[in-house]
Amino acid sequence: MLYSWAVENPQSVGGVAGIYPVCNIASYPGIKNAAGAYGMTAAELEATLKEHNPIVRLKPLAKAKMPIFHIN
């Protein structure tokens, strides 16, 4: 969720940090488990995954040269 907000508001974010961040909701927690958080069925989320999946949406943060710190 933090990546979604950051991507939509890069001018308001100084950096992103996360401990074990989820960057691909298809692999974890999985589309079926994540669908409810987006108010969708698994089929609806799968059909619109490119609009919601952090790994696909990072280009605006890269363009803004956003510092990202992950602990895995």
Model confidence over 6-61: pLDDT tens digits? 998 988 999 999 999 888 999 999 999 999 999 999 999 999 999 999 899 988 88
- Give the pLDDT confidence score for residue 30 in this predicted structure: 96
For residues 7 and 16, give the distance between their C-alpha atoms in angstroms, rounded to a whole number.
Answer: 10
pLDDT band at 4; cut points 50, 70, 90: confident
- Give the pLDDT confidence score for residue 48 in this predicted structure: 96
- Give the pLDDT confidence score for residue 27 in this predicted structure: 93
- The tally of domains found in the chain comes to 1
Query: Residue 38 is part of which domain span?
Result: 2-71
- Give the pLDDT confidence score for residue 47 in this predicted structure: 98
Q: What SS3 state is found at 5?
A: helix
- Helical (H) or strand (E) element with 60: helix 59-63
- Give the pLDDT confidence score for residue 60 in this predicted structure: 86
- Give the pLDDT confidence score for residue 59 in this predicted structure: 87
